Amino acid sequence: MTNTNFCTEVKSVKELFKSLNVETVVVELDVIERGQELRQALSARVGRTSVPQVFISGQHIGGCDDTHRARDDGLLAKLLKGHDYDYDLIVIGGGSGGLAASKEAVKYNKKVAVLDFVVPTPLGTAWGLGGTCVNVGCIPKKLMHTAALIGQTLKDAPHYGWNIPGDCPGVKEFAITSDDLFSLPYCPGKTLVIGASYVALECAGFLRGLGLDVTVMVRSILLRGFDQEMAEKAGQYMAEEGVKFLRPSIPQRIQQLESGAPGRLLVTAKRTDNNQEFSEEYNTVLFAIGRDPCTDTIGLENAGVLKEKNGKLATISEKTNVDNIYAVGDILYGKLELTPVAIEAGVLLARRLFGGSNVECDYINVPTTVFTPLEYGACGYTEEQAVQTFGEQNIEERLLGFHYLGPNAGEVTQLVGLSLKMKATKADLDALIGIHPTCAEVFTTLDVTKRSGLAPDLKSCCG
C-alpha cells in the first residue's frame, strides 16, 4: 500500500485491514528516499498518482473507495484467502436446509455447487430439488389435510342451513400417504398405517377424514419427543373419530392375497405385551416410521466425519468434527426435522461462514404443529423436558413451553414462538387483551394450574 501517512483515506484503509486481522506493508512516499520516482512508477502502472493505492499479492485494488467496495462485494475476502479451489461452498443435498444455505451464500458472491440425488422408493417414486417438504411431505400432506377438513365442513353444513348434495360415484377415489401414495392413481382403500410419528398420525387422520377405513399400528408411545399428555389426547380424539389403534404391536409379515389397484394384503402382527400374534386383511399398508439418513453412501468416512449410531451427525453450531464440513436439516442428531428449522439453520450458517455473523439457530423455541384431525400446536419445552431441565419447584412463571390441542393450531401457535424467545411471563399473557370470539383468547385468562387438581371449567364469555 502506497500512502501519505496523515491522509484520512489512508487511515480508513488501515482500519479496514485491521478489522479483518490482516497485516499490511505500508510504503510512505513522502518519507522514503526516491519517493517521487515511485510515485511516477505508480502512475505509469495504474494510471493514478493519488494515494492511497492498495495492492494484494501484486494485484491492484485501487484507492480507499475501491478497497471498501471490494470488501462489500466479496472480492477482498477471496484475494486475502488465497486458496485454490473450485467452489466456496459445496452442499450435499437439495433439501430445504441445503438450498437455503446455498442461496444465502450466493448473496455474498460465493461460488456454490449443490449435489442432489433422491434414491427411488421400491415402487420407483422419486423427485427433484426441494427435499421432502415440497415434494412428498408438508405441502401435499397439508393439501390432503385441508381436503379432509373441507369434507368435515360439508358434513356439518346441514346443521348451519346449507343443503349440500351427496358425492357422485368415484369422487372419493383419492388418498395419500407418505412418498409413493402422494401420487397414487387409485384409492388405497382399507389402510394400515404403521408408526406413531406425526407423519403417521397426520396421514391416518386425513385418510379417515376422507372416508377410509384406517388402522394405526403403534409399537409404544405416540409422537415421541412431543408432550405425552397432549399426544395421548390427540390419539384419543382420533379414536373417537373412527381411527382404530393396534397398540402395542409390531408387524411380523405381509402376504399378498390379490394384486390390483388396490390389491388385498394379509398382515400378521404381534402384540409386544403378550407376544400374541394376530392377522388382518388390508388393501394398503403404509410404513411411516421415519427416514434413514443417507450418510452411509456419500463417503463421509473418507473425510473422517463421525456419525451417531442412527447415522445422523452430532454437531456444535452445525459444525462436524472435521473442519470445513457442516450439516443442517434433518440429518442433525437430536434436532427437529422441520423444513423451517432447516431453512433458518442454513441461512444462519451461510451468514456465519461468509457474512461475519455470529448468530446461531435456536432449536428450542421452535413453533410446530401436528395436523391431526384435532390439531396439536407446540413450542418450546415439553412438560417432561421442563421438569428435567429446571426442576419441579423452580417456578418463575416465565413461559418455557406452549401446547395447544384444538382448531387452527398452526395459526394459534405461530407467534407464541416469539413470546418464548422474548422470555414472556404468565403476567404478560394476563395483560394481553384477547380477540373475541377465538380459541386463542383462552390463553389470556388462564387461572387453573395442573398441580392444583382443579378442573378448568368453562366460564362465561362476557366477564
Catalytic residue set: 436
d(CA 228, CA 205): 18
The cell 412463571 sits on which residue? 397
Q: Based on the number of CB atoms within 10 Å of its own CB, is 437 exposed (0-12), middle (13-18) or buried (19 or more)?
A: exposed
The answer to whether residues 341 and 365 touch, using CB atoms and an 8 Å cutoff, is: no
Q: Interior CA angle at 217 toward 211 and 221, to 5°?
A: 115
The cell 408438508 sits on which residue? 138
* Count of residues making up the chain: 463
d(CA 80, CA 84): 12
Q: Based on the number of CB atoms within 10 Å of its own CB, is 274 exposed (0-12), middle (13-18) or buried (19 or more)?
A: exposed
What secondary structure does DSSP assign to 120-181, as a single string?
A: PPTT-----TTHHHHHHSHHHHHHHHHHHHHHHHHHHGGGGT--PPPPPTTTT-----SGGG
d(CA 329, CA 340): 9
